[in-house]
Chains A and B, each alone.
Chain A
C-alpha cells in the first residue's frame, strides 16, 4: 500500500493553499495514509491549518530555527530523512516545490515527476511537456519512492474545516549546511486576492502600454474582486512586478473567470490559463491568437472599453 508524505508550503506563519491541492493529488493515489510535513521555525499555526485539511492522516512537524526560510539546501536533507517508509513524496509545483523537490529526489537517488496533472495509478501519472503542447503518461518504478510536484491548477484544494488530524513533532537527527543563507524577501504589498488561488483574475499585456496605464487594470480588478495578472511582455516592459506573470515560466492558474486585456495570446501565456473556467479576451486586434481560446471575445480599444465595462458593472 502507498503512503504519501506532503511537504507543506507556508509563508509568514500561514499555510499556502497549494498544500491542500497537493493533498487532493495524494488522495488520488488511494494511499493508506497522507501525512503532511511542516518544516518551519514556528510550526504551530501552520500545523493547525494543515490538520484541518480533509484526507490528512497526520501532521508531522520539525521546528528548527534553520527552517525559518525555505532554503532547499536546508530543507532537502530533512525531507529525505523523513521520507523513509513513504512510497510517495509530493510537493506543490510552485517556485517552492520546484526548488526543493529535485534536491530531495537526488538525495534519494530517484527520478522526479514534475507537474502531475492526473494520477492514473499509484505509479502512473500524466504531466505536460513543451509548454503543455503535449501531455505524456509516465510510469515510475514501483521499487523506488516517487518524488513528484503537483500542478496546482489541475487539482482542487481539498476541503478544510471539520477535520482534525493529529499533530506530532518529528525528531530528525540531520546535520544542516550553512553554505546557503536567506537575506530578504521583497514582496509586493497587496490587499488584492492571491493570483495563484483567486477565483477571478484580470490580466494586462503589452497593449496596456505603461506602468501608469496599468492602474486601469487594477481598478477593474478591484471593482470585481479579482486578482491581477500580466503577460510576460508586460512584466519584461516593467509595467508590473515579476510575481504577476502568468504563463509557462510564470504562474499556472485556473480561476473561474480570466479576463485578458491587451494580451495577444502567445502560446507560452495560454499555457498558464488553459484550465481557467471562462476566458474573456479584450483586444483591439481581431486576429489576435487569444480569441482562438477565449470563451467570450470583445474587439476594441481597451482604454475605451474598460471605462464602459466599469460603467456597465454599476
Chain B
C-alpha cells in the first residue's frame, strides 16, 4: 500500500504572531517556518505503518513556492520515500488544496491519505474532509488511534463527547489529532540520505485544477486584548471578590 501525506509549511508553533499595522496580513518576513505539527504527526503515523509492513511507500506532498523544496527535504529526512511538490507562488485555499490532492490521488492510487486535522496558520480544518468528499471515500477525522487490517481502517477519533471508534474501508482519508503519536526527530545521517531521494515537481497549472477561491480576506486585525487584573493575597479574599461579582 502507498500512503500520501500532506506536509504543509507554516509559521512555527512558537512564534508570536504579529498583525501588520496596515491590516494587510501577519508579519512573516524573517519568521521561522516549520512543518505543521499535525502534518509531522501524519508523516510519523505513515512511517510507522510502513515499518509495521502495512505500507510499502510513503509520499509527502507539498503545495507552495519554489523554495518549498527545503521543507520537503525535511519530510524525506524524517523517512518519506519521495516527495511531490506542486509549485504555485500563491497560497491555496482548502478546496483548491483538496482538488490538487484529488489529482494526485488519481495518479498515485494510494490506499490511505493522511493529513493533519488543521494547519496552525489558517486553522481551517477542511482539506481532509473536502478531499474525502471529492474522492467519494471515507473520512476519519481527528484520529488518536489508527489500525489497518483486512482492507479497512479502524480509527479512534477525539470528539467532544469522548472517543468515537469508526471503521472505514480503504482507500480512505485520515486526519490526525495531537495524541496519535509523537513524531521522531530527524537525525543528521538521514538529512544526508534525503538529498538523494526524489522530489517530483509539478506545476500547479499543469494539474488542470480550477483555483476557484470563493473567499476573499479583506482585513487582518489583532484580537481584542484581555488586560492583567488584580492579585489577591489569599483564598478568603478570592472568594469574597467572586461573591461580590455575583459569580459564586
Listed in ascending order, the chain A residues whose CB lies under 8 Å from chain B are 11, 71-73, 76, 94-96, 98-107, 109-115, 124, 126, 128-141, 144, 177, 179-188, 196, 200, 224, 232, 235-236, 241-243, 248-249, 251, 256-257, 267, 274, 277-280, 291-300, 305, 308-309, 311-313
| Most B Cβ at <10 Å: residue of A113, A130, A224, A313 | A130
CB-based contact B160/A251 at 8 Å = yes
CB-based contact A243/B229 at 8 Å = no
CB-based contact A297/B125 at 8 Å = no
Listed in ascending order, the chain B residues whose CB lies under 8 Å from chain A are 11, 16-17, 19, 26, 93-95, 98, 117-118, 120-134, 136-142, 144, 154, 157-169, 172, 177-179, 212-223, 226, 228-236, 238-242, 245, 247-248
CB-based contact B239/A131 at 8 Å = no
Q: How far is the CA of A266 from the CA of B142 in the complex (A)?
A: 22
Residue of A nearest to B213 (CB): A111
A sample of 13 inter-chain contacts (CB < 8 A) reads A72-B139, A73-B132, A73-B138, A94-B160, A96-B160, A129-B121, A130-B26, A134-B223, A135-B220, A184-B165, A295-B229, A297-B230, A309-B238
Other than A103-B129, A109-B212, give 16 A-B pairs with Cβ distance below 8 A.
Answer: A95-B141, A95-B159, A98-B141, A113-B215, A129-B122, A134-B221, A134-B222, A135-B221, A138-B218, A179-B168, A180-B168, A236-B179, A249-B177, A277-B247, A308-B236, A312-B238
CB-based contact B179/A296 at 8 Å = no
CB-based contact A137/B218 at 8 Å = yes
Cβ-defined partner of B178 (8 Å) among A95, A232, A267: A232
Q: How far is the CA of A109 from the CA of B98 in the complex (A)?
A: 11
Residue of B nearest to A93 (CB): B125
Q: How far is the CA of A279 from the CA of B216 in the complex (A)?
A: 35
Q: How far is the CA of A249 from the CA of B222 in the complex (A)?
A: 20
Residue of B nearest to A257 (CB): B247
| Most B Cβ at <10 Å: residue of A136, A186, A257, A308 | A136
Which 7 A-B pairs have CB atoms at the shortest separation, nearest pair first? A102-B129, A308-B235, A295-B229, A106-B133, A106-B130, A102-B126, A133-B17
Cβ-defined partner of A115 (8 Å) among B123, B134, B222: B123
Q: How far is the CA of A71 from the CA of B159 in the complex (A)?
A: 12
Cβ-defined partner of B139 (8 Å) among A96, A109, A180, A311: A180
Which A residues are in CB contact (< 8 Å) with B217? 136-138
CB-based contact B166/A71 at 8 Å = yes
Q: How far is the CA of A180 from the CA of B140 in the complex (A)?
A: 9
CB-based contact A297/B232 at 8 Å = yes
Q: How far is the CA of A138 from the CA of B124 in the complex (A)?
A: 13
Which B residues are in CB contact (< 8 Å) with A100? 129
Which B residues are in CB contact (< 8 Å) with A95? 141-142, 157-160
CB-based contact A241/B238 at 8 Å = no
Q: How far is the CA of A95 from the CA of B121 in the complex (A)?
A: 19
Q: How far is the CA of A191 from the CA of B236 in the complex (A)?
A: 28
Cβ-defined partner of A111 (8 Å) among B95, B120, B125, B240: B95
Q: How far is the CA of A235 from the CA of B177 in the complex (A)?
A: 13
Q: How far is the CA of A107 from the CA of B219 in the complex (A)?
A: 28
Q: How far is the CA of A267 from the CA of B225 in the complex (A)?
A: 13
| Most B Cβ at <10 Å: residue of A128, A133, A224 | A133
Which A residues are in CB contact (< 8 Å) with B177? 249
Which B residues are in CB contact (< 8 Å) with A72? 129, 132, 139, 141
Known: A134-B221, A180-B139. A103 touches B178 (CB 8 A): no
